[in-house]
Amino acid sequence: MLKRVLIANRGEIALRIQRACRLLGIESVQIHSQADRAAPYVRTADHALCIGPAQASESYLHARRIVEAARLMEADAIHPGYGFLSENASFADAVEEAGLVFVGPSGDAIRTMGDKIAAKAAMKAAGVPCVPGGEGAIDDEAQALRLAEAVGYPVILKAAGGGGGRGMRVVRAPADMSEALATTREEAARAFGNPAVYLEKFLQAPRHVEIQVLADEHGNAVWLGDRDCSLQRRHQKVVEEAPAPGIDRALVADIGERCAAACRAMAYRGAGTFEFLYEDGRFYFIEMNTRVQVEHPVTECVTGIDIVAWQLRIAGGERLSFAQGDVRPVGHAIECRINAEDGFTFVPGPGRIERWHVPGGPGIRVDTHVESGYVVPPNYDSMIGKIIASGSSRQEAIARMRAALDEAVVDGIAVNLPLHREIMADDGFAEGGVGIHYLEHWLERRRHGG
């Protein structure tokens, strides 16, 4: 069992990790930037240490300083949370080289999954279905044209090292290939330091459905059900839910089993998420996230399994204490991401929160680091919390979410509560199973008063 864990993150996930530490009797060391020194979770941690100025590159992204802080504070492990250094293979290596435990998979596993060509190859080998396309990087235009012809237009060119929805270009006709290939390559080299580009079929109106996994270092791996995260804007998830509505459970189970098998085949360790596009009754792997995700609470709500506590237990060498047959998701859960931004223009609105009232009642969970008087710094991601509603059915979860959103009060800054209230009242959302372009189209119609 770990004794003292350094939390290399901020905001709601820092508090979430702190809570898991407390539950397990592990001491927490909260590092923070100067901008976060007054944050409530800095006060509540067992130990806190300021490691640099507000700028992330000088604090939360400063790998060497973080490892030094862990040594200085005599932590035995580092939990990276999500974002920042959580999927940085060299950081994971540096942590292990310093004799500390990285709460996550090995640097090599992160490296493989961070290269989308390698990740796809690994998934294919493990029997996980992928989007039809080439096996490796594109060498030249002629090859790209041949491949595109084989899978059928439209196709999408993607940077192997891409992330955050960048480094992708849709090609609708052969005449556009040459320029698209050159631009994507150039962008890939510049933004990700890796010019490798691959090609796959562009799915027209898929859903985003993902599988949560947990794997220990003793060869055990389980999948914890699925999540639907199709409500997105600019590839940023806005609302997530578990399970994905209207998908044949036998099909989900087949995919879930394959994901767990892939973990065993890779000797994967920790929590992870296999992301898929789902269209016309089929799943297509797009990428794996080798860390805890923002939307993990919906899975916790329907399975009763504490994912963050298990990350820590697995990092401490424990075996999973349950088998696949013990994972039985019950009911439905929905998460709304609360952002400090205008809900419709998406303009960020940092500043002081004058009043913060958190909703409650049956089936409501709020994960947030914010309180009245908290100042949202302008330096980081705009997410200030998550409201999670669960119920015995999807309908009940939606009804509870509506009530919770009505009850929530945030004064002093712009927040996207009005957007969530409208989404929860939308007929298309209520029906379930909308695609990844639904929200953008909906926002477009709304802008034009339609």
Q: Is 4 a catalytic residue?
A: no
d(CA 254, CA 276): 13
Among 190, 235, 264, 319, binds ligand ADP (CB under 6 A): 235
152 binds ligand ADP (CB under 6 A): no
Site for ligand ADP in 258-317 (CB under 6 A): 275, 277, 286-287
Neighbours of 314 (CB within 10 A): 23
The torsion region of residue 245 among left (phi > 0), alpha (psi -120 to 50) and beta comes to beta
Nearest CB to ligand ADP, comparing residues 31 and 157? 157
- CA gap 29, 72 in Å, rounded: 11
Least distance to ligand ADP, CB of residue 238, Å: 13
Phi, psi of 329 (to 5 degrees): -60, 135
**How far apart (Å, rounded) are the C-alpha atoms in residues 150 and 153?**
9
Stretch that binds ligand ADP, among 10-18, 157-165, 238-246, 319-327 (CB under 6 A): 157-165
Q: From 60-68, 160-168, 319-327, 364-372, give the range in contact with ligand ADP by CB under 6 A.
A: 160-168
Output the smallest distance, CB 300 to ligand ADP, in A.
Answer: 23
Q: Is 132 in the site for ligand ADP (CB under 6 A)?
A: no
Exactly one of 11, 104, 162, 297 binds ligand ADP (CB under 6 A); that residue is 162
Number of H helices, E strands in the chain: 15, 20
Residues 137 and 198 sit within 8 Å (Cβ to Cβ): yes
Contact range with ligand ADP by CB under 6 A, out of 35-43, 163-171, 246-254, 384-392: 163-171
Taking the C-alpha atoms of residue 166 and residue 163, their distance in angstroms, rounded to an integer, is 6
Which segment (77-85, 198-206, 323-331, 360-368) binds ligand ADP by CB under 6 A?
A: 198-206
Amino acid at 83: G
Instruction: Return the bridge partners of 215, or none.
Output: 221, 270
Q: Which of 208, 227, 269, 313 binds ligand ADP (CB under 6 A)?
A: 208
Give the interface segment with ligand ADP, choosing from 140-148, 203-211, 260-268, 347-355 (CB under 6 A): 203-211
Based on CB atoms, which residue is closest to ligand ADP, 201 or 337? 201
Number of residues that bind ligand ADP (CB under 6 A): 20
Query: In this structure, how many other beta carbons lie within 10 angstroms of the beta carbon of residue 308?
Result: 24
**Cβ(193)–Cβ(222) below 8 Å:** no
Residues 410 to 449: which contact ligand ADP by CB under 6 A? 436
Nearer to ligand ADP, 285 or 310 (CB): 285
Min. distance of Cβ 172 from ligand ADP in angstroms? Answer: 13
Per-residue HEC secondary structure of 211-275 comes to EEEEECCCCCEEEEEEEEEEEEECCEEEEEEECCCCCCHHHHHHHHHHHHHHHHHHCCCEEEEEE
Q: Does 203 bind ligand ADP (CB under 6 A)?
A: yes
Query: Does residue 164 interact with ligand ADP by CB under 6 A?
Result: yes
Contact residue for ligand ADP among 40, 163, 195, 331 (CB under 6 A): 163
* Cis previous bond, 243, omega within 30: yes
Which position among 36, 200, 226, 300 is part of the footprint of ligand ADP (CB under 6 A)?
A: 200
Taking the complex as a whole, how short is the minimal distance between the CB of residue 132 and ligand ADP, in angstroms? 9
Beta-carbon contacts of 146 under 8 Å, excluding residues fewer than 6 positions away, are none
Distance CA 152, CA 156 (A): 11
- When the beta carbons of 223 and 278 are compared against ligand ADP, the nearer one is 278
Calpha distance 383→211 (Å, rounded): 23
Q: Do residues 284 and 129 make contact, with C-beta atoms less than 8 angstroms apart?
A: yes
Select the span of 60-68, 194-202, 264-272, 346-354 touching ligand ADP (CB under 6 A).
194-202
Q: Which of 169, 258, 291, 394 is catalytic?
A: 291
Q: How far apart are CA 71 and CA 65, in angstroms?
A: 10
Asked if residue 156 binds ligand ADP (CB under 6 A), the reply is yes
Q: Which residue in 26, 75, 131, 145 binds ligand ADP (CB under 6 A)?
A: 131
Minimum distance, C-beta of residue 111 to ligand ADP, in the bound complex (Å): 15
In the region spanning residues 96 to 115, those forming contacts with ligand ADP, defined by CB under 6 A, are none
Q: Distance of CA 426 to CAs 236, 333, 386, 419, 442, Å? A: 20, 17, 20, 11, 10
Interacting residue ranges for ligand ADP, rule: CB under 6 A = 131, 156, 162-166, 168, 200-203, 206, 208, 235, 275, 277, 286-287, 436
By annotation, the residues acting in catalysis are: 291
